[in-house]
Structure 1
Amino acid sequence: MENRNNVTEFILLGLSQNKKVRMLCFLFFLLCYLTIWLGNLVIMISITCSQLTNQPIYFFLSYLALLDLFYTSTVTPKLMADLLTERKITSYKNCMTLFTTHFFGGIEVFILTGMAYDQYVAICKPLHYAIIMNRQRCNSILLASCAGGLLHSLGLLLLTIFLPFCGPNEIGHYFCDVYPLLKLACTKTDKIGFLVIANSGLMGMVIFVVLMASYVMIMYNLRAYSAESRHKALSTCSSHITVVILFFVPVIFIYIRPTTTLPEDKVFTLFYTIIFPMLNPLIYTLRNVEMKNAIRKVWCNQMFVEGKQMI
């Protein structure tokens, strides 16, 4: 495959050429990365070690937290390492494997859809909720999400892996994404660009509209509930809506337009590759009483047991 290309490695231009700016960015992203690991691990352990693991919404949330760790780890460590070096080089093969970002990101999209479906069934069909959202159905949604993420990333990989690259080899980004690679290909990429829009932009737009429509229906049906039940449901739904908007809006901005790259793309990409996984744990815990109680019980009990053992 490399015989078809004159390019065997790519140079990533990164976020900035200014050394002081790069050092500040390194410290900021290091803090973000540590926060991502700490926050998502706390959520995973708290759900697994409590009764929340039996509830579908938290079953999905634990896997969403796990995926956040995988998802951001495909980009953030390489980004931080490149911020400390002047010359940021990645091989052709490594550039292609970075499409794992789209694999994990695709799974997250479909899990968020599964969580919205769970909320819809819980609010709009409460009498049938236990039957519809059984563990077998939850596992099926999880497997379907993995299959959807695989098809999404595989489609993007097949669209780019056979492209010829004959120079230049400088990617105006901090990781190997689709549009920057299409810009470097020494062939016409208009048709491929439309396929990328269909695979990422239109898919993201359709799912976003469906999710928003489902939450409009949920809000409408909440009128029949008591004030206490409405407050509990709204706290969960508002957290989910916030996560959906933070993830989908930057993705749609980048992938819904024709093949082109803008200076703002790097900032928007940071939102859904680093900022989004960092804010997820905060969003899902700050307004969620059940999640806060589970964290308090699991971790306070653990500290209490350790304290008794020391005595």
Structure 2
Amino acid sequence: MLRLFKLFVLLAVLLGGGAAWWVHQPLPMKAEMVDLSVEPGTSVPGIAQAVSDAGVQVDPSLLYWWFRLSGEARQIKAGSYELERGITPRSLLRKLVRGDEALRAVTLVEGWNFIQFRAALLKAEHLKPDTEGLSAGSIMSSLGRPGVHPEGRFFPDSYTYAKGSSDLAVLKRAMRAMDKKLEAAWSQRLPDTPLKTPEQALILASIVEKETGRASDRAMIAGVFVNRLRIGMMLQTDPTVIYGLGATFDGNLRRRHLQTDTPWNTYTRTGLPPTPIAMPGKMALLAAVQPAPTSALYFVSRGDGTSEFSASLEEHNRAVNKYQRGQ
């Protein structure tokens, strides 16, 4: 009976003029900022109690009735929130109704491989490391792609997430984003492309991404590789060799590495490697399916981020002497 009387008094206060004053007053807090987690399916009384438990010094019953009488209690969204000192009952409710969660971001950089992306996820602030300790195969199974190699399957971009979110959720968003970008690029492929599947386009795009020092060269570099694929010429691209070496690569590519056969060594095997070697961005995907029309079969770095393209081995050797050997 005493609790019912207390609630009756609280209701009377809120229905009276006191409500207009109280809802605009800062709520006492135990710290400058507290974290509030509202789980899906939490009742309105449970949400009020969670606010109090988080460190906001307010009677949960009073807060509950404010939520109820506002007419917006059912619009409160689950999520992770940061409540800062000075927040009022009114601004608190507005934050919860808007779903104004505390967001962080993790960035997947164009040209990164899957190992680098996983390292970034592990370092990401307030991101739950559910994939920590899992093999790449287990992660892909968790994402609904059992047996699929993870390399190149995630689109490089910045992904926001709520505090306490799972890294698997970020990976799933990045995977779906790559699915859409690859599908869009494949639909724009040139009719005479030697690429037979979107998978091949993804593999070539990853090589273009790793070989490109300047964005303006992407289409020309793709053109060189497409020309080589058409005539059955080895791609002979160093990034694939490096990828095949894996953790054994010490940063110094030697002649013996070029002669060491792996599934990704394009100096010992013709055609595309079996998987992508990195995460290509949108422009690399488009370059792979829309390469520049060129007769070039070779290119070499000029040392300033750009490349010199040649149609013959003789021209290429002169370019190598000029830009690589200073002759």
Q: What's the TM-score bracket when you normalise by the shorter of the two chains?
A: under 0.3
Structure with the larger strand share: 2
Structure with the larger helix share: 1
- Whose relative contact order is higher, 1 or 2, with alpha carbons under 8 Å and at least 6 apart? 1
Larger radius of gyration: 2
TM-score calculated relative to the size of structure 2: 0.21
